[in-house]
Amino acid sequence: MSLLTVKENISMVNNGNTDIVSAVQSNSNVVFDTKDLNLWYGETHALKDINLTINEKEVTAIIGPSGCGKSTYLKTLNRMVELVPTVRTTGEITYKGKSILDKSSKVEELRTHVGMVFQKPNPFPKSIYDNIAYGPRIHGIRNKKILDEIVEKSLRGAYIWDEVKDRLKENAYGLSGGQQQRLCIARTLAIEPDVILMDEPTSALDPKSTLKIEDLVQELKKDYSIIIVTHNMQQAARISDRTAFFLNGEVVEFDVTDTIFTKPTDNRTEDYISGRFG
Amino acid sequence: MAANSKLERDHEIDVKQMIEKNKQSKSFSQVVEKIVPIMLFLFAIITVLTTVGIVMTLLSETIEFFKRVPIWDFFTGTVLKPMSQNPEFGVLPLINGTIISSLIAMLVAGPIGLMAAIYLSEYASDRVRKVLKPMLEILAGIPTIVYGFFAFTFVTPVIRSIWPDVEATNILSPGIVMGIMIIPMIASLSEDAMSSVPNSIRDGALGLGATRLETTFKVVMPAALSGIIASFVLGISRAIGETMIVTIASGSSKNFTFDITQSMQTMTAYIVEVSGGEAAAGTTIYYSLYAVAMTLFVFTLLMNLLARYVSRKFREEY
Amino acid sequence: MKYIDAEQVSKRMGTRIAKNNLLKSLFFMATLFGLIVLAILIYRVVVDSVGWIDWNFLTGKLSTAAERAGIMGAILGTFWMMLVVAPVTLILGIGTAIYLELYAKKGRFQAIIQTNISNLAGVPSIVYGILGLTIFVRAMEMGNIILAGGLTLSLLILPIVIVAAQEAIRAVPGFLSEASYGMGATKWQTIKNVILPAALPGILTGAILALSRAIGETAPLTVIGIPALIIPFPEGIFDKFTALPMQIYYWTLDSSLVAEYANLAAATIVVLLLLLFVLNSAAIFIRNKFQQRF
């Protein structure tokens, strides 16, 4: 299956900012390619002619004022947006070359490859162990030993193993908000996705927990492509390679993060970044 | 963080591959995914079938009954003598008994339930309400057969000691006990209606120097009127459909009378009496059971629809 | 000129406040009225039953001789009947609730089912008895066995269980199912693994309360035709039976003939109320202990 291209160790072309411009043109592997995407909630035109190309193993930040469509776009990438019954889309999104919006593609399969971390930490009211094992289990992995291994690996991957290893059987609701969010990230890692979508993952957290998540994102970038919606422009500047600025359902500007924050080409981007609105 | 080992993906198990492998054997779960909604739909249909079943059985047997007893005689007849040599099937004595017992019940439950609702919603502190409300709900959870026993062995003797004219089986005692049974229903529904009146409206009146009482009667109750009326209508519906209390405590005289000291039969009690064995299938008495049940069903259905209409139509928008 | 005469107002204020206080006590007494009656009722029943509840009464067979009568048959009948009612209502009730809340498209059809359920909840229990008599006892030729009684009571409490299950399912926050969908779970996997476990305490609480309603129901059973005869202990759902409320009914009716039957009825009521008390406590326990607050 083409979706499952074995992950080669692609050299990190865009590790340093200097190479990035060339990386834009270079055929560094594209994960998501969005062409002329339009989306309506009932009568509301929420996304207008979106064209975006998202590269593999980068952190792509999406910024913009509330209601600009950034979360909607993110949720279109794993089709979570379809949970709203009145939603309607036109245009095309391909994931690794395969179109995802048509009905024939299986949404469950897409979501196995494109994990998601939500705005508010949302662990299940189950034990820490069962939270992590949830994904593997629904995908048919039942072997206790393998599950144990997956749980440990995922928790280590989200840098929370040391904090919870002695209480794996305890309810996840006993964890702090920041820990819960890292648990949710670990839960996503457990099904080994290629892409992790993050919908304002730190908006409900205190500064210390926020920093931990940001560090984690930097680590995860080595293995995953990350798309993060954030309200916090400093956060976008700190952790992302590329930034898209959304306004009123349109992409105003999409470029290397440095460029966006230092010499944006569009006035509206500059206005937003300098805090004139939003 | 440095203590953590790096995420290693090359060696160890390949979750991805396992997930993919399981995908191939997923046809079973795909079938489940398709079958489950159909199965659940069939479950949901059972409630519709119940209604259809009730209406169809009542209707078909009632039609059979009206082939034997003219519909006009049934609804206007004041004499009910199903077991007699020359049987007569007038339903008015039963309707009369039903209405009188429900009226007595509402005379008890209406004022007391409403006053309790006012107390709970307007006067009681949160703490007091938290104690009193569940206790009232216990009253609603007592099986009606227990109320029947209570009416027959306690309330009737008490009434007779005060008012000796009252017969051993009479409509008064079960009417009162039915009222007591309905108190929690009226109290709770009316309280819901009154406590959903926003405090800002209340404060407006209180701020002008009105007392609690004046605020309740002039502001809160008018605003909650639709809910209060709905609770009364539902109470009446409940009284009409109530069976065991009247069956036990009111006896089985099919008198067409307004004398509450006497025994009267309600529609429900008639159904119990007739279905309790004597009537063989196919006899007119047997079919009369369905005609009476149909009348009862229509009565309560109309009441329930009325209650819903009232609470919808006159719902205040805050 | 002033329209409001301050003196008049303060003069009338006294009576207004007095009226308020007077009626407040009246309202309070109205609230207490029901509770006082409840206390009298329980007191009467307990007093009447004193000396009648013993081992022999609980485990013995029915008898026309009051001193020798026991209610084991009725206890077993109620027990077996609940063994029919509980699974039937749980499966149908939860299934219907899941369908209505999670599968059905919001529209005309769903609205019809929903309205129908609330109408069914208002149908008098005796009408269900007639349905049971016509369909289960006669048309399906079951006769007046436990299964027929159980199915009849199941239909009776089904609307209550459905509504309780719907409320419990609605109370499960959307972010939990989002998390599940987000990991590639299918709809049924999400329902089975996330939504139902989270809703279960609420569903069980509602179901137990509905079950205690069924245990006390008498009218449908009288219609189905539970004999007042002495029958052997039921050994399964295909046996003829009597049940606790039926026994109370018959003994109360005959208490004008044999005074001791009133004591037997009271003793049976005590057993029934204790059973309901235990069930209700269990429901409250489950609600407080397992209900997850999100």
CB contact under 8 A, C182 and A139: no
Nearest CA in chain B to C226: B276
* B7 with A109: Cβ contact below 8 A: no
Q: Is C188 on the interface with A (CB under 8 A)?
A: no
SS3 per residue for C248-281: HHHHHHHHHCCCHHHHHHHHHHHHHHHHHHHHHH
At B277 the pLDDT is 59
Q: Mean pLDDT for chain B?
A: 88
Mean pLDDT (chain C, rounded): 90
Q: Are strands A195-199 and A114-117 parallel, antiparallel or unpaired?
A: parallel
Q: End-to-end distance of chain C based on CA atoms, in angstroms?
A: 61
Whether residue C33 and residue B183 make contact (CB cut-off 8 A), yes or no, is: yes
Q: For the segment A173-208, what is each residue's pLDDT rounded down to a tens digit?
A: 999 999 999 999 999 999 889 999 999 999 888 888
Cα distance between residue B85 and residue B57, in whole Å: 28
Query: Pseudo-torsion of CA B105, B106, B107, B113, nearest 10°?
Result: 110
Chains A–B, number of C-beta pairs less than 8 Å apart: 54
Tokens of B270: 């008639």
Is the per-residue pLDDT at C259 higher than 90? no
Which B-chain residues 257-276 have CB contacts (< 8 A) with chain C?
A: 268, 271-272, 275-276
pLDDT at A278: 54
Question: Which amino acid would we find at residue A33?
Answer: D
Specify the pLDDT at position A9.
36
Helices H / strands E in chain A, number of each: 11, 10
CB atoms under 10 Å from CB of C117, counted, come to 23
CB-nearest partner of B141 from C26, C103, C280: C280
Find, in chain B, the residue whose alpha carbon is nearest to that of A158: B7
Share of chain C above pLDDT 70, in %: 99
Please tell me which of the candidates A80, A109, A173 has its beta carbon nearest to residue C182.
A80
pLDDT in tens, B192-221: 999 888 888 888 888 888 888 999 998 999
Structure tokens at A45: 């035109």
Q: Please give the pLDDT value at position A4.
A: 36
Instruction: Tell me which chain A residue has its CA closest to the CA of residue B6.
Output: A157
Two structure tokens written together for A270: 């500059």
Three-state SS at A231: coil
pLDDT for A244 equals: 93
Query: How many CB pairs below 8 A link A and C?
Result: 69
- State the average pLDDT over residues C236-248: 90
Could you give the CA distance from residue A172 to residue C175 in angstroms, rounded to a whole number?
A: 15
pLDDT at A11: 35
Task: Report the pLDDT value the prediction gives residue C63, as an integer from 0 to 100.
Answer: 81
The residue type at C287:
R
Candidates B19, B55, C48, C47; CA nearest to A194 is B19
Tell me how many degrees the CA angle A81-A84-A90 measures, rounded to the nearest 5.
55
User: Which positions ≥6 away from B289 have C-beta within 8 Å?
Assistant: B61, B270, B271, B274, B275, B279, C130
* CB contact C129 to B (< 8 Å): yes
Q: Which residues of chain B neighbour A222 with C-beta distances below 8 Å? A: 7
Cβ separation of B4 and A156 shorter than 8 Å? yes
Domain boundaries, chain B: 95-266+292-313
pLDDT tens for each residue of B295-310: 999 999 999 999 988 8
**Which residue of chain B has the CA closest to C31?**
B116
Query: How buried is residue B54: exposed, middle or buried, by Cβ count under 10 Å (0-12/13-18/19+)?
Result: buried
Note whether B20 contacts C: Cβ–Cβ < 8 A. no
Q: Which two tokens stand for residue C246?
A: 């039926």
Q: How far apart are CA B148 and CA A114, in angstroms?
A: 64
pLDDT recorded at residue A15: 41
pLDDT of residue B65: 93
State residue A66's pLDDT score: 86
Mutate to test the interface with A, among B23, B24, B30 (most CBs of A within 10 A): B23
- The rounded distance, in Å, linking the Cα atoms of A134 and C237 is 40
Closest approach of A275 to chain C, Cα-based (Å): 31
Amino acid residing at C32: L
Taking residues B89-97, report their average pLDDT: 93
How close, in Å, is residue C185 to chain A by CA atoms? 6
One digit per residue, the tens of pLDDT, for chain A of length 278 reads: 333 333 333 333 334 444 444 344 444 688 899 999 999 998 899 999 999 999 988 999 999 988 889 999 999 999 998 888 888 999 999 998 888 888 778 888 899 999 999 999 999 999 999 999 999 998 888 889 999 999 999 999 888 999 999 999 999 999 999 999 999 999 999 988 999 999 999 988 888 889 989 999 998 988 899 999 998 888 999 999 999 999 999 999 999 999 988 888 888 988 888 876 65
User: What is the predicted pLDDT for the residue at C86?
Assistant: 95
Q: Which CATH number fits domain B95-266+292-313: 3.40.50.12780, 3.40.190.10, 1.10.3470.10, 1.10.3720.10?
A: 1.10.3720.10
Give the per-residue pLDDT at A23: 40
Q: What is the CB-side half-sphere exposure of residue C213 using CA atoms within 13 A?
A: 20
- Distance in angstroms (rounded) separating the CA atoms of residues C262 and C259: 6
pLDDT value of position B55: 95
pLDDT, tens only, B234-283? 999 999 999 999 999 998 888 888 988 899 999 999 999 888 755 677 78
Mean pLDDT in residue range C25-47: 94
> Mutual orientation of helices C260-290 and C196-216 as an angle, nearest 10°?
170
Give the pLDDT band (50/70/90) at residue B25: low
Q: How far apart are CA C17 and CA B209, in angstroms?
A: 11
First-to-last C-alpha distance (Å) of chain A: 43
Residue B1 pLDDT > 50, yes or no? no
Per-residue model confidence (pLDDT) at position C92: 96
Q: What six digits make up the tokens of C132?
A: 């049971």
**What pLDDT score was predicted for residue B301?**
93
| Alpha helix positions (H), C99-230 | 108-120, 125-132, 146-170, 174-182, 187-190, 196-216, 219-224
- pLDDT score, position A122: 92
Of residues B79, B74, B52, B53, the one with CA closest to residue B63: B74
Per-residue model confidence as pLDDT tens digits over C109-133: 889 999 999 999 999 999 999 999 9
| Per-residue confidence (pLDDT) for residue C99, from 0 to 100 | 95
Assign C168 to helix, strand or coil: helix
What residues in chain A have their Cβ under 8 A from chain B's Cβ atoms? Answer: 1, 4, 7, 109, 112, 136, 139-141, 146, 149-150, 153, 156-157, 159, 161-162, 189-192, 215, 219-220, 222-223
Dihedral angle of Cα B245, B247, B248, B250, to the nearest 10 degrees: 90
